[in-house]
Amino acid sequence: MHDAFVTMAFRDKVVLVTGGSSGIGKAIAVHFSKEKAKIVIIGRTKATIDEVKDICTANSETEAMGIQADVSKDADIEMIVNKVTATYGRLDVLVNNAGVFISDDILTATMENFDAHINTNLRGTFNLTRQFVPLLIKSKGNVVNISGVEAVKYVEGLLTESLSKVAIQHLTKYIAYELGPKKVRSNSVALGYVTGTKIIERANIDPEEFGREILPRVPLGEFIKPEDVAKTVAFIASDAARHITGQNIVVDGGFCCH
């Protein structure tokens, strides 16, 4: 069945997705591959990277690149940048999606939690983006940072995680302002609860119980799917959104309305 949201607008463009081997990142990579983009998948587990790589290669009819890396490590960041530069010599869309998610509050937060969130969510996003600036300027490209509604409003149990997401939104604005004259756009997407991922379970939270608590607070009355996020990211990175930069787009079904 034809997907009305697939436009081929990214044919032959290079799109890199961190955390691209599962969940939201996988959906984003697969969607861009349907648009015939050249996909670079960054993840930490080779088996899942290879799985997504095969799907993207089949969709785009161009060999996707899979890189096993940890974005919190400087050496891995340099390796990613070097491989993309050597292979493609350009980068059109950088999607900073990789992140960790640990539930805590001011009574239970630890410095280990804080460091885990800052090192992957913020440091990884900052370091990868700054090193890709020359290629993004060359292509007049796009940066799309995945954030969360916990950076917009109070959400119980997400203290140290939310600190990293707030900083990502601020970084997004700095990139937009400083690279705008070079025609590089930068936006963030603040997500509500997205089903079909393992991130909730990894934080030792029961997804069904969490869903029951959250759903009554979502005016649209339904949860977000990874594919919904992918379509939003593709729109933001497309020429249809060419005057949108420095913005934090909230995708939450209305959760932040109250």
Residue 212 has pLDDT above 90, yes or no: no
The average pLDDT across 212-217 equals 84
Average pLDDT over residues 230-256: 96
Contact 107, 94 (CB under 8 A): no
pLDDT value at residue 1:
42
pLDDT tens-digit profile of 116-171? 999 999 999 999 999 999 999 999 999 999 999 999 999 888 899 999 999 999 99
- 76 three-state secondary structure: helix
**Polymer length in residues for the chain:** 258
pLDDT at position 8: 80
pLDDT confidence of residue 38: 98
Give tens-digit pLDDT for 3-54.
656 678 899 999 999 999 999 999 999 999 999 999 999 999 999 999 999 9
Average per-residue pLDDT for the chain: 93
pLDDT confidence tier of residue 195, bands split at 50, 70 and 90: confident
HSE toward the beta carbon, residue 248, CA cutoff 13 A: 22
pLDDT tops 80 at residue 200: no
Computed from CA positions of residues 16, 39, 29, 199, in that sequence, does the dihedral angle turn out positive or negative? Answer: negative
Asked if the model's pLDDT at residue 202 lies above 80, the reply is no
Q: Report the candidate in 58, 26, 66 with the shortest Cα–Cα distance to residue 227.
A: 26
Q: How many CB atoms lie within 10 A of CB 176?
A: 19
| The Cα angle at residue 67 between residues 61 and 72, in degrees rounded to 5 | 140
pLDDT confidence of residue 83 = 98
Q: Tell me the C-alpha distance between 183 and 194, whole Å.
A: 31
Asked if 245 and 174 count as a contact pair (C-beta separation under 8 A), the reply is no
pLDDT at residue 214 is higher than 90:
no
CA-CA distances (angstroms) from residue 115 to 44, 126, 163, 221? 18, 15, 11, 35
Place of tokens 């990293």: 164
Section 72-90 average pLDDT: 98
Say how far apart CA 226 and CA 176 lie, in whole Å: 25
